Structure 1
Amino acid sequence: MKYLIIALMWIAYGLIHSLLISLHFSKWAAKGMGRYFAFYRLAYNVFSVILLIILLQYTKTLGTELVIKFLPPWTILQQGLLIASSFVIVWAFLSYDFLEFTGIRQIIEFRKIENEDFTIPKTITKKGLLGIVRHPMYLATIVFMWSLNSTWADILVHLILTGYIFIGIRLEERKLVQQFGSAYTQYQNDVPLLIPFTKK
């Protein structure tokens, strides 16, 4: 029963996370909040991080017996994968506009917002890792998760999050095509989805 509860909690987290960042919900929120929508991104990020920390802490209470445990000499591979994936996550994060990604820039420019219309970005970021693979942070997250020593609860969460990532990528791709049209379609043709140096 405890594993069913944790599974439902993580699935609910994924659904809420996707709903709040979806294009349709964002437009709806922008209409209702008007110029105060400038605070939405930061509030969303804070809410997501707090909820994530709570879920991670609860997952730790379900048991400490490791089912997946890297032993020498495989610990060398494990450490290499953890370091490499962490580096990729940081590098990918730096490819974005940090202030805009966190929602700080929107608040800084709060006074400049004169209407209630929700506007979406008009350019696609292709610098850094985003010029090699479209979703480097997702790839690195998957590698990082499965490189950890894990309990049964961890494995269950990793399976759910891996599935969520693959579903989320497809939904995000659809949203980005709606946002950018042919520009993103061309980006899809030029840059691989998840695995670098492969075809679309």
Structure 2
Amino acid sequence: MAFFALLYGLAAYAVFLATFLYAIGFVGNLWVPKAIDLGMPAGAADSPLAEALLVNVLLLGVFAVQHSLMARPAFKRWWTRFVPKPIERSTYVLLASLALIALFAHWRPIVAVVWDVSGAPLAVVLNVIHWAGWGMVLLSTFLIDHFELFGLKQVLARLSGRELPAPVFRTPLLYRRVRHPIYLGFLLAFWAAPTMTAGHLLFAVATTGYILIGIWFEERDLIALFGERYRRYREEVGMLWPRLGGRPAAKQPDAGSTGHAAHH
């Protein structure tokens, strides 16, 4: 059973990795056959604006509900009555990836241009910010334990017959300046576009709203998990941007995983 759990976890991680790489191309209109401003689902080329808006909002909503609901501790307690605990995280990652794949497949581009600075020096700055955002996302996952975040550590622990340690609060590197660098990285990647279409703007606005709501739920869970330590951290460190003139949070012992890993 442990071996099959490992295979399942590896398969879920492979789907996530492919989805993450496709997401970079999707948002940036690069390399992929269907992107945020390129390509239409079969038979949807002549769909009216209202229909495109409705479809895209529903796709974003499905991902937001799945991604946020399944991350809540109460749902996890119920869910692990049916799904073995070692593969719970892998299942979450797999379903989140499938929700994104559905979004990529059925997204309807709305190509009216909101702004276009592609021929100006500002485009270089925006492209640098865009790629820095993706880099921040990836770096931040490794800072808090990439392989636990995406379920591999759990299935490996099951294979070796050991229990994972309880979450330990840490503030490594970026987390000493910003409480949610993963979310900040996504926002930079989504908003830093030399050419912003109406469809891309809808995507950026909707994901920003989801991120802000998700942070509210996530921080409520983190306070329940870490109590006063997280309250002090929230007072010292900015949510999505470093506080001007503020000192970085004190470095916590580098043992175990962070609460961020349990909820992102």
Q: TM class, shorter-chain normalised? A: 0.7 to 0.9
> 2:52 is matched with which residue?
2
| Equivalence for 1:92 | 140
Following superposition of structure 1 onto structure 2, how do residues 144-159 of structure 1 map, counting pairs within 5 Å? 144-148=189-193, 149-159=195-205
Match of 1:122 in 2: 167
The answer to whether the 8 Å contact 2:174/2:181 transfers is: yes
Would the aligned equivalents of 2:134 and 2:189 in 1 still touch at CA under 8 Å? yes
8 A Cα contact 1:70 1:78, kept in partner:
no
Q: CA deviation at 1:101?
A: 0.8
Task: Indicate which of 215, 238, 243 corresponds to 1:169.
Answer: 215
Compute the TM-score of the two structures, normalised by the length of structure 2: 0.66
Deviation at 1:63, TM superposition (A): 4.1
- The range that moved more, 166-175 or 91-100, is 91-100
- 1:78 aligned counterpart, secondary structure: helix
Alignment of 1:1-200 (within 5 A): 1-33=51-83, 36-59=84-107, 61-71=108-118, 72-110=120-158, 112=161, 121-148=166-193, 149-198=195-244
Residues in 1 aligned to 2:184 and 2:100: alpha-carbon distance in whole angstroms: 19
Count, aligned residues? 193
CA RMSD of aligned residues (A): 2.3
| Deviation per residue, 1:102-148 (Å, 9 max, x gap) | 1011111125368xxxx994311311211111101111211211112
How many Å apart are 1:64 and its aligned residue? Answer: 4.3
Distance 1:168 1:109 in 2: 29
Post-superposition offset of 1:7: 0.7
- Aligned in 2, Cα 1:53/1:69: closer, same or farther, shift over 3 Å? farther
Tell me the distance in 2 between the aligned counterparts of 1:193 and 1:164: 15
Contact (CA 8 Å) 2:111, 2:199: kept in 1 or not?
Answer: no
Measured in 1, the distance between the counterparts of 2:127 and 2:153 equals 36
> Larger RCO: Structure 1 or Structure 2 (Cα < 8 Å, ≥ 6 residues apart)?
1
Give the percent of matched residue pairs that are identical in Structure 1 and Structure 2: 25
Q: Which runs of 5+ in 1 are unaligned?
A: none
Q: What is the identity, as a one-letter code, of the residue corresponding to 1:197?
A: R
CA contact (8 A) 1:85 1:143 kept: yes
Judge conservation of contact 2:180–2:240 (CA < 8 Å) in 1. Answer: yes
